[in-house]
Amino acid sequence: MSGAASRILVIKLGALGDFIQAIGPMQAIRRHHRDARIVLLTTEPLRDLARAIGVADEIWIDARGSLLDVPYWLELRRRLRARRFDRVYDLQTSDRSGWYFRLFGPGPRPEWSGIAPGASHRHDNPARDRLHTIERQADQLARAGITDVRPPEMAWVKADVQRFELARPYALIVPGGAPHRPEKRWPLERYADLVKALVARRLKPVILGAPAEASLGHALASVSSEVRDLVGRTALEEIPALARDAACAVGNDTGPMHLIAAMGCPAIVLFSHASDPALCAPRGAAVAILRSARLEDLALEEVLAALPPRAFPA
């Protein structure tokens, strides 16, 4: 099928970082199917961000029903089959999204880009699991005839962040991450030392994070009156708007850092043994990766040395 008008389904669920790395591929699908009606199947926490990015005409929410929840799957099957999609781009390529392929049967299924057995445009590159997420998705789309996959275009970032009344210059700090992956976090006391060092260099630290990470924001705000604690106060679509005016950013391997990096903000992203930057590092015009097998062994001096000199006031 060419880019002619058609009915398209794009599947991209969570997590946040993975979703951000799919912006470029989703925009490529939109360009290729310029006149298509595109539905994006995603998850509730990503709804507003997906709407802001604007690659889909409709957004459907996967409630992540259990595989044993038969009524849920029957209703999803009814909805998928009723729309009569011509092509599906499975950018999730998980066991779960593989089930969606099965739901279209029996009978003719839409053209399918993904890894599900029987897919018309199966991504069967034996090296796919050794490719960075962005290159892997670009290779997958190339198998389906989409070769114009570019870095994400961020013109959709229009959130008004004046309500935060942030005085420049400021630095974004992202000290949190997945609660079940503590090994991916630089110790809080190191972030406290970083905050002190930034304040000494006349940079105002601004702390970002999810509502569940409120204790991190409180702890770092107690270090200095110059700190602004915005943990739990920002919508996802506001984070790149904050990054647009930030002097720099430092954070763990976690979703918000992907949004910050994509905006071109000079970003230092900290990796431990728990994840491989060659496969999943944030991409952007000014990203630096610091990796230590154990993040508690990563010294403050290494982080400060990685920050661009232009980030600090003259």
Position with higher pLDDT, 47 vs 310: 47
Using pLDDT thresholds of 50, 70 and 90, give the confidence band for residue 314: confident
For the stretch 17-70, pLDDT in tens is: 999 999 999 999 999 999 999 999 999 999 999 999 999 999 999 988 787 889
Homologous superfamily in CATH for domain 162-311: Glycogen Phosphorylase B; (3.40.50.2000)
Q: Convert the chain into a string of H (helix), E (strand) and C (coil).
A: CCCCCCEEEEECCCCHHHHHHCHHHHHHHHHHCCCCEEEEEECHHHHHHHHHHCCCCEEEECCCCCCCCHHHHHHHHHHHHHHCCCEEEECCCCHHHHHHHHHCCCCCCCEEEECCCCCCEECCCCCHHHCCHHHHHHHHHHHCCCCCCCCCCCCCCCCCCHHHCCCCCEEEEECCCCCCCHHHCCCHHHHHHHHHHHHHCCCEEEECCCHHHHHHHHHHHCCCCCCEECCCCCCHHHHHHHHHCCCEEEEECCHHHHHHHHCCCCEEEEECCCCCHHHHCCCCCCEEEEECCCHHHCCHHHHHHHCCHHHCCC
The topology (CATH level 3) of 7-143 is Rossmann fold (3.40.50)
Mean pLDDT of all residues belonging to the chain = 95
pLDDT of 59-118, one tens digit each?
999 988 787 889 999 999 999 999 999 999 999 999 999 999 999 988 899 999 999 999
Which ranges in the chain are annotated with CATH 3.40.50.2000?
Answer: 7-143, 162-311
